[in-house]
Amino acid sequence: MRTPGSPSAFAWAAALALAVIIPFFTGDYVTSILTLICIWSIMAMSLNLIYGYTGQLSLGHSAFLGIGAYALGLMAVKLHLGFWPAFFTASGLSALFGFLIGIPALRLRGPYFVLVTLGFACIIGVIVLAWVDFTGGANGLAGMPRPNPLPLPWGGRFAFDTVRHMYYFVLFFLVLIAFLCHRIIHSLLGRTFIAISQDENLAESLGINTMGKKLMSFTVSAAFAGVAGALYASYNVVISPDVAYFTRGMDVVACLVVGGAGTQAGPIVGTLVLMSIPEALQIASHLKTLIIGVILLLFVIFLPSGIAGGFKAVFGRSRSITGPG
């Protein structure tokens, strides 16, 4: 069992401290890239819960991302709700759709579940594009609200009107969802998720309600994806139908493959690698896809457990050789 003073705890604390201070030494461009990395890390965490720990590969998480983004936009822009009611409602609607889709889809196994989730993502993408009067169609929606300013103890206020302030807002939710995922995975509920991923038939024979647990994992995962969608809409101010396009779900799967599915650091590490390398190389958009494809292929062949998974295996092996002392 890990203790609070373990290397893992220190590594997380150091990573968080680094994430907090980086914007003070970079410009708005780098900070904006870091903000998007945080948002997509939340998306990867949401998929990691249902795929990495529960063993159910979903290619439809782009649908929940789109539902969260458009729900925030429609309620704030057209219904004129405040930011926070729209934000939490957007996450709740994503969870509701996850629950409703999960009831029939999770009764299927293997490629059939994958195809159902992929089909759901395609349906949401078509609806968003075709329902022009409601979603704006190909033109999308503009005028997404930013969070309300926070009052400060000394009488001022913290307004989310700069790239740096929005970065800290998104970083807060990244840390919050990472903490929630940690608590879930290290609870009895998380143990049942892992048991289902390893052998669903055996877990069911031991009295675990596998359908109920998978549905719970899928619903929570959809809610987290909805949070990512709402954050994306608020930060980007303008949203278009491509936010719900099914290839977004493929991108998140790629992040998990590179970072390591079934690990806590994997979603963040994979997203950081796949988003930062093309930006650092400053290459054309069509070459970014090629670079990501090559990286993904190399990891599938040479390091299928991902960066975090490989590090965990090496670190665990070295500890077993050297002993606890």
pLDDT in tens, 225-274: 999 999 999 999 888 888 888 888 888 998 998 998 888 889 999 999 88
**Contacts for 51 with CB less than 8 Å, ≥ 6 apart:** 57, 58, 253, 256, 261
Strands 157-158 and 150-151: antiparallel
For the chain, give the mean pLDDT.
Answer: 86
Ordered by start, the domain boundaries in the chain are: 26-246
**What is the Cα–Cα distance from 63 to 73, expressed in whole angstroms?**
15
**What is the Cα–Cα distance from 81 to 73, expressed in whole angstroms?**
10
pLDDT band at 309 (very low <50, low <70, confident <90, very high): confident
Q: Tokens 């101010």: give the residue.
A: 237
pLDDT band at 172 (very low <50, low <70, confident <90, very high): very high
Query: Among 311, 18, 36, which residue's Cα sits nearest to residue 167?
Result: 36
Buried b (16+ CB within 10 A) or exposed e, 84-116: eebbebbbebbbebbbebbeebbeeeeeebbeb
Stated pTM of the model: 0.89
The pLDDT, as a whole number, for residue 9 is 74
The pLDDT, as a whole number, for residue 3 is 38
Mean pLDDT of 101-116: 91
**What is the Cα–Cα distance from 58 to 51, expressed in whole angstroms?**
7
Is there a contact between 291 and 283 (Cβ–Cβ < 8 Å)? yes
**What is the Cα–Cα distance from 255 to 257, expressed in whole angstroms?**
5
- Cβ neighbours around 242 below 10 Å, total: 15
pLDDT band at 313 (very low <50, low <70, confident <90, very high): low
